[in-house]
């Protein structure tokens, strides 16, 4: 009888210990989550006057969300929630102006908000020889974006990053807009197309800058 009693006590002690360890683990995990800043990636503003067959704004938001999410340093606000917030914004809500109180009101549950404006998205032929037809020449894709990150942790919003970022990507003549049918973003093969690779390079650079400046703001 005493042996069964001892075994029961030992089993109870083991279960109690395991429960305590799990509770401590969950507490540590919750604390780690609470220290991560929450970031909203606003839908990109496309002022490039481009004629892409897909929504460039969606591509940028999705790409930045994916890249920053892989870092596991931040909590990212739900893209659908951000879209619903953006739909309620007015034309006067300009993230590139000096008046940013509306950012604090609109994204009140976030710590930082990322805004991207596409200023240029254009493919041009490399006409080194005036007699060369555009379809017979290589080309380059120029993409210029303006990036702003707003810190809204305090009562007064503060711009911690405002930068023009650009990329020029060489395109061989067999892949220029005259000779190559550009597959759309989200389609198989887009990632290895000249435009897909150009976008990937630029979005990685933007993501890296956003990460760098948010981490600097956190530590200051």
- Note down pLDDT in tens along the chain; length 220 residues: 444 444 444 434 454 555 555 544 444 444 445 589 999 999 999 999 878 989 999 999 999 999 999 988 999 999 999 999 999 998 889 999 889 999 999 999 999 999 999 999 999 998 776 777 888 889 999 999 999 999 999 999 999 999 999 999 999 999 999 989 889 999 999 999 999 999 999 999 999 999 999 999 998 7
126 with 62, same domain: the answer is yes
Other Cβ atoms less than 10 A from the Cβ of 163: the count is: 13
29 with 41, same domain: the answer is no
Tokens of 3: 């042996």
Could you tell me the CATH number of the domain that includes residue 80? Answer: 3.40.50.10610
58 with 114, same domain: the answer is yes
Tokens of 169: 């990507």
100 with 16, same domain: the answer is no
Angle at 69 between CA 65 and CA 71, to 5 degrees: 135
Query: Tell me, what's the pLDDT at 45?
Result: 94
Residue-range definition of the domain harbouring residue 145: 36-219
Region for 49 from its dihedrals, namely left if φ exceeds 0, alpha if ψ lies in -120 to 50, beta otherwise? left
191 with 131, same domain: the answer is yes
124 with 156, same domain: the answer is yes
Record the pTM: 0.82
Q: How many domains does the chain have?
A: 2
E-strand stretches of the chain: 38-41, 45-46, 75-76, 112-125, 139-151, 158-171
24 with 103, same domain: the answer is no
24 with 53, same domain: the answer is no
91 with 199, same domain: the answer is yes
Other Cβ atoms less than 10 A from the Cβ of 189: the count is: 10
């Amino acid at each position: 009888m005493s042996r069964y009693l001892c075994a029961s006590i030992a089993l109870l002690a083991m279960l109690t210990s395991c429960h305590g360890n799990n509770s401590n683990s969950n507490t540590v995990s919750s604390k780690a989550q609470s220290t991560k800043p929450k970031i909203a990636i606003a839908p990109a503003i496309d002022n490039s006057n481009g004629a892409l067959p897909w929504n460039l704004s969606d591509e940028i938001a999705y790409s930045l969300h994916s890249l920053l999410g892989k870092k596991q340093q931040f909590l990212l606000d739900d893209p659908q929630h951000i879209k619903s917030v953006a739909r309620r914004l007015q034309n006067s809500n300009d993230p590139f102006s000096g008046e940013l109180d509306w950012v604090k009101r609109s994204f009140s549950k976030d710590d930082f908000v990322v805004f991207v404006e596409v200023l240029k998205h254009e493919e041009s032929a490399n006409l080194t020889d005036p007699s060369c037809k555009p379809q017979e020449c290589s080309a380059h894709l120029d993409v210029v974006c303006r990036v702003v990150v707003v810190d809204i942790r305090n009562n007064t919003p503060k711009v911690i990053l405002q930068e023009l970022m650009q990329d020029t990507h060489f395109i061989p003549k067999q892949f220029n807009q005259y000779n190559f049918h550009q597959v759309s973003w989200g389609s198989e093969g887009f990632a290895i197309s000249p435009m897909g690779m150009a976008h990937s390079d630029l979005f990685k650079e933007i993501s890296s800058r956003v990460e760098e400046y948010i981490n600097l703001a956190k530590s200051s």
